[in-house]
Amino acid sequence: MDAKTSRYHETYARWQRDPAGFWMEAAAGIDWIEKPKTAFDPNAGVYGRWFPDGVCNTCYNAIDRHVEAGRGTQAALIYDSPVTGTKETITYAALQTKTEILAGILHHNFGVRKGDRVILYMPMVPEAVVAMLACARIGAVHSVVFGGFAPKELATRIDDAKPKVILSASCGIEVARVIPYKPLLDEAIGLARHKPDACLILQRPQCTAELTPGRDHDWHKTWEHAVVWAHNVLEPVALQATDPLYILYTSGTTGIPKGVVRDNGGHMVALKWTMQNHYGVSPGEVWWAASDIGWVVGHSYIVYAPLFHGCTSILYEGKPVGTPDAGAFWRVISEYGCAAMFTAPTAFRAIKKEDPQGKFFAQHDLSKFRTLFLAGERADPDTIVWAENLLKKPVIDHWWQTETGWAIAGNPVGLGMLPVKHGSPTVAMPGYDLRIVDESCKELPRGTMGSIVVKLPLPPSCLPTLWQADDRMKESYLSEFPGHYKTADAGYVDEDGYVYVMGRTDDIINVAGHRLSTGGMEEVLAAHKDVAECAVLGIKDDLKGEVPCGFIVLKAGVNRPHEEIERECVQLVRDKIGPVAAFKLAITVARLPKTRSGKILRGTIKKIADGDPWTMPATIDDPAILDEIGGALKGKGVGG
C-alpha cells in the first residue's frame, strides 16, 4: 500500500483539527459506567487530564463485557511454557472466574481496598495476569516488578509504592536454571522500611519456598478455601477515569526509580484504539507480544490491549533461542495460528545469529501470520531486511516508551500501511505532535538532528505524573523544553515526515565538535556480512573529547580471524560515514550485556571503557558479561 491509499494522513489531520472530538469518538469503543462528557481538562494534574468525569472499570472492559456479549468460550489467554513443558488455554469465562476469586481473596482475606497498592513479583505464569486484572477489578493499584529483580531494587520499590500485599512465586525459570524468588523477596522486605501486611506465594514444583509464619500465605491453599466460600467473588468497582491503574518503575538517572503512573480511562481508550488502527488485528484473532509482564510492552500488549479488543493473547514463558532452539518463535506462531507478533529487535538478532539461513523457519506453517512488529530499541535495517526476506511479510518498526504506554511513531497497518523506510519507525501517531528542536526549544529544519519532543498535551494513556512526585515529573520531562514533553531521544524528521530515532540524547557523541549518531554507525556495522549484532558508544579521548568504539558479535559459524573482520568494520564506517567519524576501534565480543528486555546496556559499557565508577544495573540479564567486556577492552588497551 502507498501513502495515497492509506487513511493515515486523513486520520492524523482529523486529530489535529479536533483532538477532543477524535478521542471522544475513540472513547466509544470502551464500556463506561458513566460516559465522559469532557475529553480533556487542561487545568487538572501536571499538564491536564483525560476524561476527568468518566467512570469505568478496566477489568470489566478486559473480561466481563466479552463474556456478557456471548464470547465466554473464546480463548482469552494461551499459556505456553517450553521451560516447564506446560500449555494451557484459558477462556474469557474462565479468566473471569479466576479474576473474581483472586479479587475476593485480596479484598476479604487481606483487606485490600480501592487505592491500596499491590506489588507483583512473579514469573510469566497465568496467575500473574489474573493478579493484574484482580487488582484492576477492585481498584487496587498494581506495580509489577520483574521477577528475580535484585533485593535492593525491589526494596526501593516497596518503600516507594508502600504495598499492602505482595504477590509472588517460589521461583522463576530462565532456560536451564531455576531462580528462587522467595529468598530475594525476603531480603527485600528485610531491607525495606515499609513492611507489607501479607505475601501470597505461588508454589511452583520446580522449587518450593519456605513460608514466613504470620505473613506468608500459600496461593493454592488460600485459593481452595476461597472457592468454597462463594462470598469471595467480587464485582468490578466503579472508578474515576483519572484514578491510577498501575505504577511501573523505570530506572532514573539519579538511581532512584521513577514510578510511571497509568490511569484507567485514557489507558483503555488509547490501547483499544491501537489494536485495530495501528496493529491491524481484529477481535477474535490470536495476537502475541513476546515480552514480559515486568515491562511496559507486557502491560500494554500481553495483558490489557488485546483483552480490551477481544483478542486471544499468548503468554509465553521462554526465549527466542534455547527453548529449545532458534525455531521457538516459529513454532508458537504456527501452533496457535498467530496473526501478528510484537517483539524486540534483540530477539530477532538472536535468532539471526543462531540460524542465519532460517532453516528452522522452513519447518513451520506460518500461513495465518501477517505482520511482525518490532520495538524496544532501535531496529537496525540489516535485521529488518533479514526478517523481511525470511518471512516474506511486513516487518514494522515502531517507537515508544514506558512513559507513553503505546507508540509515539509507527506504521499504522490498520489504517493502511505506509511505505517502509528502513531505519525509521515511520510517522507520528495521532495524539502526538512531534517536534525536533535544539537546546533552546527552537524547531529545526527537516533532516536536521536534534532532541525529539512532543508538544503538550500528551495523548490518552501517557503518564499523567510520577507516583506521588509531581515536581519530579515536571523536572524530568517538562522543564527542559517548556510546553513540551522531553523524550530524551535524539533524531530527525525527513522530507516525508518520517521519524528517525538515532538513539538516546546521550548517545549523540561529540567528536572534535561534530555531532554524530552512534545509531548511524551501528547501522553500518550491522550490515557487515559476519556481524550478528553490535553496539557503538563514545569513549573519552583527550584530543577529540570523544571517539566512537564499536563492539561486534559475530554470527554463528564465522571462523575468520577477528582482527581481519574488525579492520573491515573500521573501513566500512570510514567509507559510509567518513573520516569525520574518527571510528578506529572495533572489538569482537562473545555477547553484549543487556537488560532482561533485551536493551543493550550502553551506558554501563561506556563507564567501564572510560574507567569511571559504575554499579551493577538492576535489570541486567547476566552480570558475568560485564567482566567479559572489561577484559575485551583491556585487551585493546582501553579502560581503567
pLDDT band of residue 496 (cuts 50, 70, 90) is very high
One-letter amino acid identity for 503?
G
Find the mean pLDDT for residues 163-173.
Answer: 97
Residue 317 has pLDDT above 70, yes or no: yes
What SS3 state is found at 204? Answer: strand
Locate the domains of the chain by residue range: 8-318+419-475, 514-635
Please state which of the four CATH numbers 3.40.50.12780, 3.40.50.720, 3.40.30.10, 3.90.320.10 is assigned to the domain occupying 8-318+419-475. Answer: 3.40.50.12780
* Residue 520: predicted pLDDT: 79
pLDDT band of residue 42 (cuts 50, 70, 90) is very high
64-89: pLDDT as tens digits: 999 999 999 999 999 999 999 999 99
Residue 505 has pLDDT above 80, yes or no: no
To 10 degrees, what angle do helices 92-104 and 126-138 make?
60
Residue 566 has pLDDT above 70, yes or no: yes
| CA within 13 Å, CB half, 256 | 9
* Residue 601: predicted pLDDT: 87
Find the mean pLDDT for residues 107-130.
Answer: 97
d(CA 96, CA 66): 10
* Residue 253: predicted pLDDT: 42
Mean pLDDT score across all residues of the chain: 92
pLDDT band of residue 232 (cuts 50, 70, 90) is low
Find the mean pLDDT for residues 142-157.
Answer: 89
pLDDT band of residue 182 (cuts 50, 70, 90) is very high
Long-range contacts of 485-488 (CB under 8 A, 24+ apart): 485/453, 485/454, 485/456, 485/458, 486/451, 486/453, 487/401, 487/408, 487/451, 487/452, 487/453, 487/454, 488/451
367-395: pLDDT as tens digits: 999 999 999 877 888 889 999 999 999 99
pLDDT band of residue 3 (cuts 50, 70, 90) is low
Find the mean pLDDT for residues 261-265.
Answer: 98
* Residue 373: predicted pLDDT: 97
* Residue 533: predicted pLDDT: 92
Burial of 65-91, coded b for 16+ CB within 10 Å and e otherwise, reads: bbbeeebbebbbbbbbbbbeeeeeebb
Residue, of 432 and 346, whose pLDDT is higher: 432
Among 166-175, 466-475, 511-520, the minimum mean pLDDT is found in: 511-520
* Residue 153: predicted pLDDT: 83
Phi, psi for 191 (deg, rounded to 5): -75, -30
* Residue 252: predicted pLDDT: 47
Residues with Cβ within 8 Å of 213's Cβ and at least 6 positions away in sequence, in order, are none
601-623: pLDDT as tens digits: 888 898 899 988 888 887 788 88
Residue listed under C-alpha cell 538492576: 618
388-414: pLDDT as tens digits: 999 999 999 999 999 999 999 999 999
* Residue 254: predicted pLDDT: 45
Q: Could you tell me the three cell numbers for 296?
A: 511496559
* Residue 231: predicted pLDDT: 56
- Please give the CATH topology (third level) of the domain spanning 514-635: GMP Synthetase; Chain A, domain 3 (3.30.300)
Ranked by mean pLDDT, the top range of 175-189, 240-254, 615-629 is: 175-189
* Residue 354: predicted pLDDT: 92
d(CA 294, CA 108): 27
Residue 296 has pLDDT above 90, yes or no: yes
| Contact call for residues 151 and 117 (beta carbons, < 8 A) | no
Among 128-137, 275-284, 380-389, 398-407, the minimum mean pLDDT is found in: 380-389
DSSP 347-379: HHHHHHHH-TT-TTGGGS--TT--EEEE-SS--
